[in-house]
Amino acid sequence: MSASRYSGYVSTEQYAETLFVTMLNFFICFFGLLMNTLVMITIQKSPHFVNSYGPLSLNHSVLNMLSLLVYFLWVTPSTYTYSSQSVSTSTTTTLGKIIGQLHLLFLFSMIYSHLSLSLNRFVSLLHPTRTRSIFSHHMCIFLNISTWILGFLHVIPLFWYQDCHITYDPAMWQWVISTSKYCATYKLLVIQYLSVIVSGISFLVNLFTWVMVSAETIRKHPVEKKLLKGEFWRSLGFLVAVLMSGVLSGWVQERWQKYLVICVIWQAYHLVDGLVILLLHFHRKLLAERPILDPNHHTPSFIHVEHLHSLPHTHHSPNFHNNAHHVSK
């Protein structure tokens, strides 16, 4: 990441380029937010997620939404303001530094969210008899909270705003980090090395699970296979984004190239991450007012067997067999 530079004047060509970047950010974020909103609805209503994978995946979708909101509500307006007024204060204000800190908080939390999702698939498919004890309801809550705590611990060095900070530079269309020796060490060890290592572990766990799972397990539990397939591609996409933004960005020098590997790659990841879930699990009937419930879709990673019976009692017991046609096939 390079230092920010401002010339105080934006030519017509520069204005057109920056306006294009603004519109590109806007549309990617808009559709990304739409996709992840549908994902959250799907997770809450689809019987495929009535298991320990559900709350873990919901937490991940929330992080996706928050990351996209940083781009939608801060990066995009800052870029447009610079293109139209040739001014920028985002790299000098405390607010700009806090936004950059939140940006990394969400990304680091997603790293550990992927790790918890990968471990969930590993246990659910290779050790299904232990899933309910390992990934209990309380454990899922603990894991979700832990992802946020770990993400927060990773951004503590950024509280020393004068010595180390990351901000969005609308002139260069990228996130820039301060050039102090302290911050350079933080960038190398945490943003690059640690991110790549943990993301790589998550992907390898999914790959190992995919290779080792038996055909019999896949035949008996097709929903679990779908969840594994989705998490495999999501973790692969995240690893690619980490490698491009953390490693490849140091090799490219041209502004458009840096913009693509630092900003566009993450916005695209958040969009595609949600799209994978929708392609595998979404059905338009999930948008119905009442959630779809079908005990036949319970999987080995189901949290509580009594979950369906914990719904509010009615005078007549629900007939799930008669409602089977509501379930997405």
134 contacts: CB under 8 Å, gap ≥ 6: 123, 127
> What is the pLDDT averaged over residues 169-191?
90
pLDDT of 177 over the 80 cut: yes
Taking alpha carbons only, the member of 105, 133, 106, 131 closest to residue 119 is: 131
- As given in the structure block, the two tokens for residue 273 are 């991450």
Against a cut of 0.85, is the pTM above it?
no
pLDDT of 309 over the 80 cut: no
- Cβ atoms of 169 and 90 within 8 Å: the answer is yes
Length of the chain: 329
Angle (CA) 56-68-14 rounded to 5° is 160
- Cβ atoms of 42 and 286 within 8 Å: the answer is yes
**What is residue 215's predicted lDDT score, i.e. its pLDDT?**
84
What does the alpha-carbon distance between residue 135 and residue 140 come to, in Å, rounded to a whole number? 6
Taking alpha carbons only, the member of 134, 145, 126 closest to residue 302 is: 134
Average pLDDT, the chain: 84
Give percent above pLDDT 70 in the chain.
81
- Give 325 or 282, the one with higher predicted confidence: 282
**What is residue 134's predicted lDDT score, i.e. its pLDDT?**
93
- Cβ atoms of 22 and 279 within 8 Å: the answer is no
**What is residue 12's predicted lDDT score, i.e. its pLDDT?**
81
To the question of domain 13-287 being in CATH 1.10.10.10, the answer is no
Taking alpha carbons only, the member of 109, 209, 93 closest to residue 161 is: 93
194 contacts: CB under 8 Å, gap ≥ 6: 154
C-alpha 218: how far from chain center:
26
Per-residue pLDDT band for 298 (boundaries 50, 70, 90) equals very low
**What is residue 311's predicted lDDT score, i.e. its pLDDT?**
36
DSSP 46: -
What does the alpha-carbon distance between residue 74 and residue 168 come to, in Å, rounded to a whole number? 9
Angle (CA) 308-273-45 rounded to 5° is 20
Phi, psi for residue 169 in degrees, rounded to 5: -105, 105
Dump pLDDT digits (tens) for 56-109. 999 999 999 999 999 999 999 999 887 666 555 455 688 999 999 999 999 999
- How many C-beta atoms lie closer than 10 Å to residue 187's C-beta? 19
**What is residue 319's predicted lDDT score, i.e. its pLDDT?**
45
> What is the pLDDT averaged over residues 169-181?
89
What does the alpha-carbon distance between residue 55 and residue 61 come to, in Å, rounded to a whole number? 10
**What are the boundaries of each domain within the chain?**
13-287
**What is residue 86's predicted lDDT score, i.e. its pLDDT?**
52
Q: Dihedral (C-alpha) 16, 17, 23, 24: value to the nearest 10 degrees?
A: 160
> What is the pLDDT averaged over residues 287-301?
52
Burial label, 178 (beta-carbon count in 10 A; 0-12, 13-18, 19+)? buried
